[in-house]
Amino acid sequence: MEISRPAARWWLPPVLRLAAAFSALAVAGLVIWQVLKHVDLPSADSLLHDYGYLGVAIGAFGDSFGLPSSGEIVLLAAAAAAATSNQFSLPLVVLVAWAFALAGDLCAYGIGRAAGPGVLRRFGVHEDSSVHVFMARYGARAVAAGRLIAGIRTKLAIVSGSTRMPFHRYLFADALGAAVWAILVGGLGYLFSSSVSTLIDRFGSTSKVIGLIAIVAVAALVLYLCVRYVLRFRPAAA
């Protein structure tokens, strides 16, 4: 039996809607990129020199959203300064970094909690999906371990909120991961203060590699969700 033209092109409307959505996101991203090109963003050194402990807080909080001046770099530099001068105290540097890293992650979790479930349902990802099952079973461990890896921590925070991980579980796991992160990175900066520039270079190169891996993983997930979304409109077999 001949398939009618509208039924044969059932995929066209959802594909066009996705194309429009991604076009809007691309335009918004281009505008933001053009704005950032003309803004003099502070480096880790300038953050610490100009703002002291507030610079540590800004670096740790902004790191949760992928902003420039990585939290690791700011923390390494502040810990090294604590070892070589009286400008900083290592315990206070670690405490500030931990508190504001946790605060940034909780904000990302809140964004995912508020907007994520609706977005996931829109793409056909419901409570019985593999993503929800994984987060229900391994979510706390993934959050605690992922908090140590730049480029992944923000994605996990948003996914945790989107899959409605209980707040107390997320808070405990992220607080533990952030504490290990702050103590480990701060301790490295303090113990190897004479080699902190080398450490910063290594953290920077590692973050770029992990960030690239995270981008590829997110792109694969987005592609999967888009395919799921389009297939929702496939006509039922007669």
Q: What is the pLDDT of residue 70?
A: 72
- The two tokens of residue 51 are 């703002």
215 versus 48: the higher-pLDDT residue is 48
Q: What is the pLDDT of residue 43?
A: 61
Q: What is the pLDDT of residue 1?
A: 45
177 versus 4: the higher-pLDDT residue is 177
Q: Name residues whose C-beta falls within 8 Å of residue 137's C-beta, 6 or more positions apart in sequence.
A: none
Whether residue 77 is predicted with pLDDT greater than 50 in this model: the reply is yes
DSSP per position, 144-184 = HHHTTSTTTHHHHHHHHHHTT--HHHHHHHHHHHHHHHHHH
Looking at mean pLDDT, say which of 59-68, 93-102, 203-212 comes out highest.
93-102
Q: What is the pLDDT of residue 214?
A: 63
211 versus 152: the higher-pLDDT residue is 152
122 versus 184: the higher-pLDDT residue is 184
**Stretch 181-190: mean pLDDT:** 91
b/e map 161-172, b = 16+ CB within 10 Å: bbbbbeeeebbe
Whether residue 35 is predicted with pLDDT greater than 70 in this model: the reply is no
- The two tokens of residue 107 are 């904000």
**Stretch 190-206: mean pLDDT:** 69
Whether residue 143 is predicted with pLDDT greater than 60 in this model: the reply is yes
Report residue 23's pLDDT band, with 50, 70 and 90 as the boundaries: confident
Q: What is the pLDDT of residue 2?
A: 47
Q: How far apart are CA 129 and CA 164, in angstroms?
A: 13
The beta-strand segments (E) located in 46-132 are none
Q: How far apart are CA 134 and CA 29, in angstroms?
A: 31
Report residue 27's pLDDT band, with 50, 70 and 90 as the boundaries: confident
Whether residue 177 is predicted with pLDDT greater than 90 in this model: the reply is yes
Look at residues 14, 171, 10, 191 and name the one whose alpha carbon lies nearest to residue 99: 171
pTM for the model stands at 0.69
Q: How far apart are CA 233 and CA 15, in angstroms?
A: 10
Report residue 123's pLDDT band, with 50, 70 and 90 as the boundaries: low
Percent of the chain having pLDDT more than 90? 19
